[in-house]
């Protein structure tokens, strides 16, 4: 399987994450991508290729222009204030407050952020833009005839909404990929999100659309981030009614229950009539992931890779989460090898 990868992800090397009431070194760190790449090379999964550049036009197909401009300039604006730390939002337009975009960067951070754990640091924009290029190169490779491609994106993207960042995500790589396929003639695209956390950003982008189905298997938002989206009764709106499928699951969920949810999601993809599949591939469903509570084992990732292959669709795997650094490479490549062998 072809892998698309860029060293530019290393530009996103934040030193600050708000976690458990403390400022800690982020769970989302450069070594995540390196461990995956090492495993790809060790197993001989296939060619590793660098990305092409696409600019911001494909990004603006799914993201608000003001939001993209904010991300591009946020670190420079923050630096000019004289603050010493990384940029972290401290206030939000909460219930019954004005939804106006402030002039000061402190206010802009709160307006565009959906959570406070994700700081903006030097190189954040450049790395996020490179991740989009990785995703688009993967999508273009599938359009050119590859049956399956793995885009090793970092930072991840599925929490990035039309006009909000958070959950370690700035630009929604999977959504931009899905839109790419639509713009090039696909009538229907499915986005299957197997990350532990609900992809609130992907749901936000496609919730009112009938050409992209979004299906997510995730920790129940009553118990897990992002808490305020991802419930089973969120089924779409307008033209998107009936094309949003959430499978929230409780702490301690193992593969028996998780696999049943996957099978149901795959059947819904078949009924939807997708022509292309985009997989938001997060491996933080692993039993020892430090910020998740599912109990999948390494062999389970191989099993579900084969199950996804049973759809027989051109498939674009886009990397999302996974924070057990020691096992992230093994579990990620297990999915990809399971897909190849299952196909």
Dist CA 25 CA 18 (whole Å): 9
> What's the token pair of residue 83?
């603050």
Catalytic residue among 9, 27, 158, 159, which?
Answer: 159
Dist CA 51 CA 20 (whole Å): 36
Asked whether the beta carbons of 120 and 109 are under 8 A apart, the reply is yes
Residue 316 bears catalytic tag: no
Tell me the catalytic residues: 159
């Amino acid at each position: 399987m072809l892998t698309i990868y860029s060293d530019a992800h290393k530009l996103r090397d934040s030193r600050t994450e708000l976690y458990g009431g403390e400022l800690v070194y982020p769970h989302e760190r450069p070594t995540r991508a390196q461990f995956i790449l090492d495993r790809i090379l060790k197993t001989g999964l296939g060619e590793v290729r660098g990305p092409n550049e696409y600019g911001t036009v494909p990004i603006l197909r799914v993201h608000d222009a003001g939001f993209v401009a904010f991300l591009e300039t946020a670190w420079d604006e923050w630096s000019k204030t004289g603050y010493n730390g990384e940029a972290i939002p401290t206030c939000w337009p909460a219930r019954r407050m004005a939804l106006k975009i402030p002039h000061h960067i402190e206010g802009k951070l709160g307006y565009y952020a959906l959570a406070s754990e994700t700081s903006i640091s030097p190189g954040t924009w450049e790395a996020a833009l490179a991740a989009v290029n990785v995703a688009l190169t993967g999508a273009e490779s599938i359009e050119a005839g590859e049956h399956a491609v793995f885009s090793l994106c970092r930072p991840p993207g599925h929490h990035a909404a039309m006009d909000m960042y958070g959950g370690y995500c700035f630009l929604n790589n999977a959504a931009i990929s899905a839109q790419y396929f639509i713009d090039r003639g696909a009538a229907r695209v499915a986005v299957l999100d197997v990350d532990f956390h609900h992809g609130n950003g992907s749901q936000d982008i496609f919730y009112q659309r009938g050409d992209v189905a979004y299906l997510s298997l995730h920790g129940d938002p009553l118990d897990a981030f992002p808490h305020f989206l991802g419930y089973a009764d969120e089924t779409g709106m307008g033209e998107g009614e009936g094309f949003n499928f959430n499978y929230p699951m409780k702490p301690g969920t193992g593969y028996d229950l998780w696999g049943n949810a996957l099978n149901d999601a795959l059947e819904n993809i078949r009924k939807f009539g997708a022509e292309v599949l985009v997989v938001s591939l997060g491996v933080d469903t692993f039993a020892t992931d430090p910020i998740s509570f599912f109990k999948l084992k390494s062999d389970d990732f191989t099993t579900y890779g084969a199950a996804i292959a049973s759809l027989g669709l051109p498939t674009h795997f886009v990397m999302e989460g996974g924070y057990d650094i020691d096992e992230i490479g093994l579990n990620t490549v297990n999915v990809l090898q399971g897909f190849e062998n299952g196909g």
